[in-house]
Structures are given as structure tokens and as C-alpha cells.
Amino acid sequence: MKIPLSNPDITELEKEKILEVLNTPNLSLGPKLDEFERKFAAYISSKYAIAVNSGTSGLHLCMRALGIKDGDLVLTTPFSFISSANCILFERATPVFVDIDEKTLNIDIDKLEDKIKQLKTQD
């Protein structure tokens, strides 16, 4: 039995828009990128939005924007894609793993608080 990882969900309109870009000299930069950033910024009520090539790049920019640096401890969950920890490591910081809540599958707030207390007593 074959179980697909995911089925494509691409409409004819999306295919048309992709072909519009493919028929120009601008595959990654250009007017469509500028338009997307402007529209996304408006959608989230922000002055600016910056598109990146991947979620990993976005996470890395967040590390930089937050000023994460060599020697910092960053709490994260091990129940995530490897990029979550790799972006921390790339900035020479240390990922500190906190388990997830079994119901939400997000980081467990109670365990997060316990980990912070534990780290403070180690200082």
C-alpha cells in the first residue's frame, strides 16, 4: 500500500501565475516578489515584510533579529524539524530542549517554567 506524504493542492490559477513568472527573466527576484512582500505586510498590518527562500532562512533571521549570540541558551522543543536547533547552533548558542504538551504538541509551558527555574539555580 502506498500512502502519499502529501497530495499537491495546486489550482489552475496557481499554475497560470507560476507560468507567468517562468516566462520572465525573474525567477526569484522581481516585481512579483515586491508585490508579495507589500501585500503580506499589509495583511499582517506591518510596515515591512521580507520573503526568504525557506523556513530555515526565516528561523535564522529570527535568531539574528533577536540578537542570539555565542554562549546564549535558547529554549526550544526537540519535537521539531532539525532547523530549529541548527539555527541556534549556527549562531554558536546552545539549544536547551523542553518537551511538548501531549495534547497540543507545542512546547509544554509547565515544563518550560521548570526548565527556566532549573537553569537559574545552575547560575
55-65 helix and 83-90 helix, angle to the nearest 10 degrees = 40
How many whole angstroms separate alpha carbon 85 and alpha carbon 93?
Answer: 10
pLDDT at 92 over 80: yes
pLDDT tier at 4, thresholds 50, 70, 90: confident
Closest CA to 119 of 69, 63, 66, 75: 75
pLDDT digits (tens, 9 = 90+) for 98-117: 999 999 999 999 999 999 99
pLDDT band for position 6 (50/70/90)?
Answer: confident
The CA distances from residue 30 to 22, 33, 51, 112, in Å, are 12, 6, 12, 43
Is residue 14 over pLDDT 90? yes
pLDDT-based confidence at 65, cuts 50/70/90?
A: very high
- Higher-scoring residue by pLDDT: 28, 46: 46
- DSSP state at residue 90: H
Say how many Å lie between the first and final Cα of the chain, rounded: 54
Q: Is 67 helix (H, G, I), strand (E, B) or coil?
A: coil
Instruction: Give CB contacts under 8 A, 24+ apart, made by 47-50.
Output: none
How sure is the predictor about 27, in pLDDT bands with cuts at 50, 70 and 90?
Answer: confident
Q: Which amino acid is at 122?
A: Q
